[in-house]
């Protein structure tokens, strides 16, 4: 199997201390983008010519309820610093909630995204990919792609 790095190389690497103290919703913002890129890459490998299917399938995985469903498994594979970021994201004050979920679900998803953003901004893209592969290994989009 060929492992490819689907995450872009244009980011700046930040220190752990800086990221631990920055706005948690900013980490979530970046984590949402990284997670979406991962999902879109995986979905594209399944439906490369069907735009409507690409959008519909990716949307299933990128909504807050779907992200929140991954949290229990995520907590089993992250380290202490990442767990701190998750908890900080989960308890952050959000100003609006999408209509497809409740506050608790949205907060769990925010924590999930914050962890992904934190690890990505630390510069450990391989860890991000390893975590996402583990979280999605039982899904039709997970694991390594040979394409």
- pLDDT (tens digit per residue) in 62-107: 999 999 999 999 999 999 999 999 999 999 988 788 887 999 999 9
Who's near 87: CB < 8 A, 6+ residues apart?
A: 111
For residues 55 and 61, what is the distance between their CA atoms, to the nearest angstrom? Answer: 10
pLDDT of the residue at 48: 78
Give the C-alpha separation, 97 to 106, whole Å: 7
Report whether pLDDT(134) > 60. Answer: yes
CATH code reported for the domain at 19-135: 1.10.1520.10
Q: How confident is the model at residue 52 (pLDDT cuts 50, 70, 90)?
A: confident
Tokens read off for 75? 């907590």
Q: Yes or no: say if 105 and 40 are a contact pair by the CB < 8 Å rule.
A: no
CA distance 30 to 116: 8
Active site residue 69: no
pLDDT tens by residue, 6-51:
665 656 889 999 999 999 999 999 999 999 999 999 988 887 778 8
Alpha carbon 29 to chain centroid distance? Answer: 10
Among 32, 102, 124, 130, the one annotated catalytic: 32
pLDDT for 146: 44
- CA-to-CA dists, residue 84 to 79, 89, 112, 114, 144, angstroms: 9, 9, 11, 10, 28
Domain segments of the chain as ranges: 19-135
| Cα distance between residue 114 and residue 109, in whole Å | 8
């Amino acid at each position: 199997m060929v492992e490819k790095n689907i995450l872009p190389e244009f980011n700046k690497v930040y220190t752990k201390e800086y990221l631990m103290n920055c706005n948690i919703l900013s980490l979530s913002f970046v984590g949402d983008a990284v997670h979406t890129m991962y999902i879109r890459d995986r979905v594209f490998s399944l439906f490369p010519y069907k735009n409507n299917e690409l959008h519909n399938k990716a949307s299933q995985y990128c909504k807050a309820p779907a992200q929140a469903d991954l949290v229990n498994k995520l907590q089993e594979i992250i380290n202490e610093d990442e767990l701190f970021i998750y908890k900080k994201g989960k308890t952050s004050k959000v100003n609006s909630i999408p209509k497809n979920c409740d506050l608790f679900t949205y907060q769990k998803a925010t924590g999930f995204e914050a962890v992904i953003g934190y690890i990505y901004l630390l510069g450990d893209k391989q860890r991000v990919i390893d975590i996402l592969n583990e979280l999605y290994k039982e899904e039709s989009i997970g694991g390594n792609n040979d394409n």
